[in-house]
Amino acid sequence: MAVSELLLNYLDELTKDEFDTFKWYLTNPGLDNIKPIPKAHLEDKKRTDTVNRMIQNYMEEGALKATVTILEKVYRKDLVEKLSKKLPGAMRFFDSLYIEPSSSSMYVS
pTM of the model: 0.75
Q: Is pLDDT above 50 for 107?
A: no
Task: Encode pLDDT of 15-65 as tens digits.
Answer: 999 999 999 999 988 776 778 999 999 999 999 999 999 999 888 888 888
| Three-class DSSP labels, 70-83 | HHHHCCCHHHHHHH
* 5 neighbors 67 (Cβ within 8 angstroms): no
pLDDT at residue number 92 = 52
Ordered structural domains, the chain, with CATH:
3-108 (1.10.533.10)
The pLDDT score that the predictor gives to residue 98 is 41
Nearest Cα to Cα of residue 68 among 16, 15, 6: 6
